[in-house]
Structure 1
Amino acid sequence: MAFPDTDALALYGHAITLDLVTTISESIFCSAYGICFAIALYSIFRRGFTSRVRLIMLFVVIYLYAASVAQWALDMRNAFVRIHSLLMVPDVAIADRAYQPTAKYSALQVALFMFNMVIGDAVVIWRTWAIYQRVWSIVLQCICLLATFVFALADVICTSNGNIKTQSADASKICPLAEGTAWTLSIVINITCTKLIGWKAWRHRKMMQQLFPGKTGKMSGEKTLWILVESGFVYSLLWTIVFFCDARYHWDYASQVFTSLARQMAGMYPTLIIVIVNLQRTVWEEPLTDIVGTGAVSRALQWAPNSNGSAMTDTFRTERGEIHPDAGIGTTRETPVMQ
């Protein structure tokens, strides 16, 4: 009986270990996502379905989670199939055993991940628009989102048809760059949106310090903005790490852990944004009683209509905001006092 040589055994062991690392790490991340998904459903049902925006929220949350669970299930299936193939299919070359039984699902896995990433970026852009209520704030991000979708679609097509690179000169140029370009554009979208939300949070804090110099701590609306900034920073950092790990250290154990995290984070992060928005009160929902005297006075200051009869709130004629119950965060426009 002929036994495989040392190199072949090392290849076996390395491939099996990578499968185990991927399976265990992604199972942990998927479980954490399940908790986040349950909280998201609770936050949506708690507020009710009084508008189409909340119905869209529910659809997005369910789709993202279903796609992430499908990715986890495919990765689990592929791991077990590869282990079986490596150990129990001797009539296939060792170099091909880890890939042959799972190749037909590669395009589906790429599609699930890429489109989760695109939808997640769309949620981030929606958050930025809801805070600013200005088209200029999302023009660049929308262009990047469209380009991300195009390159994501190209990556799926290239993965599903392995021979397309040799059949078309254009495909041979686009396919090697499609995935990396989509990742880069996604990182640009998240960094840009995080900076814009951070700028709004800083402006709001400076305004509150001028209006209420004796007030310590952050108001709930401001806390929501800073939570969005911090989570956006962490997500952008993780996305950048995963991008470089996947590009340079594809078979490293740490790379596999980060890649498993990315598969779940693509859906988890936008779900977290929806949770934060639904569970936190808006800037204009928080009472001003603790800031400026009695409740009657604070309500008058908070909800008094403008002289022009609009639905906008005029607080000390310094900051004007619109009430957007479905957006989750009140938007503000500062007058020259802050400029």
Structure 2
Amino acid sequence: MATSQQDSDSALQRIGSGIIKDVASIVAASVLYGIYLILICFSVKGILQKGWKGRASLFQLLATVALFVIASFLWAENFGVLVKRIQFALIDTTLGTIDQRLDLANLDPVTRRLRAMNDVMFVFEYIIGDLLIVWRVWILYSRATIIGLSLFILWLAVFVTGMGFVICDIKTNFARFLDQVLTPHSGTCINLGSSSWPLSLVLNLVATVMLGRIIWMRRSAFRRIGGRHIVRTSRVDRVLSILVAASTVYMILGMLRLAIFGQATEPRVAFFIEVVEYMTEIIVAMYPTAVFVFVLNEGQLSSHEVASFNASNIRLPSTAFTRPNRGLAERPGPTPSTDFKPDQPKGIMVTMDEVVADV
């Protein structure tokens, strides 16, 4: 009798720990998802107001909507799995003893297939998000061929390994989730998945360094001409700084998610990993949208603000934000306001209009 009571208490402890862990993860993800709902409204509204029929705007719109749909699926799937587990463990008492119900809650084929789809959709999520990152950095580097090609090759590596992981899972009918013993094919799927996400983080690291390089080169050039105080007040530099900061936070959370591929047997570590995992699934989609909304807001606050400078001994072709002239005559118009005093030199243009138009 005492043994039976101890077994029951142990099972209840496992159920309680699992529920607390899942609920905490869902709550953390739900807070981010609520913020994401607000951001997606501003993002879609901003794209439509800019005119979504252009190729760049249409791409931004489709990618933004796709990321939101995927993030919504992941959030709903996590919530559904939690409800299903509670139903098995605590509500459907006719399914067997508490230990049997607990095993069923963890090993049910339906919930395990949902977990498999979670991994698949997450791959699509960061592939789309990384493509937006590549596009943004390429635009900020004035569509430089070497920059675009280098980032595209990195993204292609993410795409190939990610899609290989998805195809492998589908061809094996998600055996690594449904079989207790891993098959050789299941190991291949795991290896592909373990390669794709780190490659995505490498891509984000490279993009962050390149964005930081733009800020560093601009500030170094301004220091040489005695205009350091101007850079600090430039809205363009504020946008670049927020891009770098957002990318850094994104990478930190991504590195934490890598711990999932390890063996976290410590309960507190496992708890932390699951919370980070759920949050990352929302952040991967929210990150490009949040950056776009921030840049759009900065552009509305200063739609014609220009930060410019020129010096005979300073050349920053890689940091020019304006598009090439393409041989078209410029239309006459009023000179935009600047962050500079009238006697300061002008030259390379860095406009918020250009950043908002392409980011």
List per-residue Cα deviations over 1:25-79 (Å, max 9, x = no partner): 2211211111221221232233233622112211111111121111111111111
- TM superposition shift of 1:264: 0.1
Match of 2:49 in 1: 46
Distance 1:141 1:236 in 2: 17
Match for 2:237 among 208, 211, 222? 222
Q: Distance in 2 between matches of 1:179 and 1:99?
A: 22
Q: 1:286 to 1:50 in 2, by over 3 A?
A: farther
Distance 1:172 1:260, change over 3 A: closer
Secondary structure of the equivalent of 2:36?
helix
- The aligned residue for residue 179 of structure 1 is 193
State the match for 2:314 in structure 1: none
Aligned to 2:151: 141
TM-score, normalised relative to structure 2 = 0.75
Aligned to 1:296: none
How far apart, CA to CA, are the structure 2 residues paired with 1:186 and 1:51? 28
Aligned partner of residue 98 in structure 1, secondary structure: helix
1:19-58 matched pairs, under 5 angstroms = 19-49=22-52, 51-58=54-61
Deviation at 1:276, TM superposition (A): 3.1
Aligned with residue 83 of structure 1, among 82, 86, 106: 86
- For residue 131 of structure 1, report the CA deviation from its aligned partner: 0.8
Matched with 1:300 is none
Q: Secondary structure at the match of 2:233?
A: coil
CA RMSD of aligned residues (A): 3.7
Which amino acid in the other structure matches residue 28 of structure 2?
A: S
**CA-CA distance at 1:117 after TM superposition:** 0.6
Q: Name structure 2 gaps, 5 residues minimum.
A: 311-321, 331-337, 339-343
TM-score (norm 1): 0.79
2:285, 2:124 → 1: CA distance?
Answer: 10
Secondary structure (helix, strand or coil) at the match of 1:94 reads helix
Tell me the CA shift for residue 122 of structure 1. 0.7
Distance (whole Å) between structure 2 residues aligned to residue 324 and residue 146 of structure 1: 30
Q: Aligned residue for 1:122?
A: 131
Aligned pair partner of 1:286 in 294, 305, 314: 305
Identity between Structure 1 and Structure 2 (%)? 22
Deviations for 1:105-163, whole angstroms, at most 9, x for unmatched residues?
23322222111111111111111100112121233332222222222223334444234
Does the CA contact (< 8 Å) of 2:236 and 2:307 recur in 1? no
Q: Is the 8 A contact 1:221 1:329 kept in 2?
A: no
Retained in 1: the 8 A contact 2:306–2:352? no
- 1:99 counterpart residue number: 107
The amino acid of 2:213's aligned partner reads: W
Tell whether 2:21 aligns with 1:18. Answer: yes
Question: Which residue of structure 2 aligns with residue 266 of structure 1?
Answer: 284
1:109 — aligned with what? 118
Shift of 1:214: 7.2
Give 1:262 shift: 0.5
> 2:52 aligns to what SS in structure 1?
coil
Q: After the TM superposition, which of the residue ranges 85-94 and 106-115 deviates more from structure 2?
A: 85-94
- SS across alignment from 1:328: helix
Partner of 1:295: none
Query: 2: CA distance between counterparts of 1:62 and 1:81?
Result: 28
For 2:252, the equivalent position in structure 1 comes to 237
Segment drifting more, 23-32 vs 92-101: 92-101
Closer, same or farther: CA 6–34 of 1 in aligned 2, 3 Å: same
Matching residue's letter, 1:99:
L
Is the contact made by 1:57 and 1:274 (CA closer than 8 Å) also made in structure 2? no
- State the AA in 2 paired with 1:184: P
Structure 1 residues 59, 329: CA separation in 2 closer, same or farther (over 3 Å shift)?
A: closer
- Closer/same/farther in 2, CA of residues 210 and 42 from structure 1, 3 Å limit: farther
Query: Shift of the alpha carbon at 1:7?
Result: 3.0
Distance 2:72 2:23 in 1: 18
Q: Equivalent residue for 1:277? A: 295
What letter matches 1:328 in structure 2?
A: V
